[in-house]
Amino acid sequence: MEDTIEIARETPLGADLAELHARHAAAMHEDTPPESIHMLPPDALAAPGISFFVMRQAGRPVGMGALKRIAPDEGEIKSMHILSEMRGQGLARRMLEQLIAAARAEGMARLYLETGSQDSFAPARQLYLRAGFAECGPYVGYQPDPNSVFLMRAI
């Protein structure tokens, strides 16, 4: 029988999350110049106004995602990552659905996100576009960047 996948709100500072954060950081640095990387470190993800979620399989962290409030009725998806060996099973879609549901529950009407423009980010862009996100311009705190794609969805 397949292990159940669970997604729950947790602290990003959990001791067993170090590998997940490290692999996310390594993936972001693979083909993105440092000045174009907008991920938040674990301590910043623990700040007020950010809801952090961990996806676990049999207790092992296999994915994460965060929701940051950027305005009273707007949020931003941050640090969404599924371990590479777990991809292709619909887990990123499940995490995205969790983040959208949390945003709705927190009274948000719009969600934004920034992702890479490089080929390595194509699966992520496809996921977001299939989920109803559309390209938009830079939003709060961002500048135009050829390595970034900005997306927004009303929820």
pLDDT at residue number 55: 98
- Token pair 């000045």 is found at 35
Helical residues (DSSP H) of the chain, grouped into ranges = 18-30, 42-45, 91-105, 122-130
On whether the CB atoms of residues 12 and 42 are closer than 8 A, the answer is: yes
pLDDT tens for the chain, residues 1 to 155: 357 999 999 999 999 999 999 999 998 888 888 888 898 999 999 999 999 999 999 999 999 999 999 999 999 999 999 999 999 999 999 999 999 999 999 999 999 999 999 999 999 999 999 999 999 999 999 999 999 999 999 99
String of DSSP letters for 83-114: -GGGTTSSHHHHHHHHHHHHHHHTT-SEEEEE
| pTM of the entire predicted model | 0.94
| Mode of pairing for the β-strands spanning 110-116 and 134-136 | unpaired
What's the pLDDT tens digit per position in 122-137? 999 999 999 999 999 9
Measured over the CA atoms of residue 121, residue 123, residue 125 and residue 131, the dihedral's sign is: negative
pLDDT at residue number 1: 38
pLDDT at residue number 2: 55
Other CB atoms within 10 A of residue 15 CB: 5
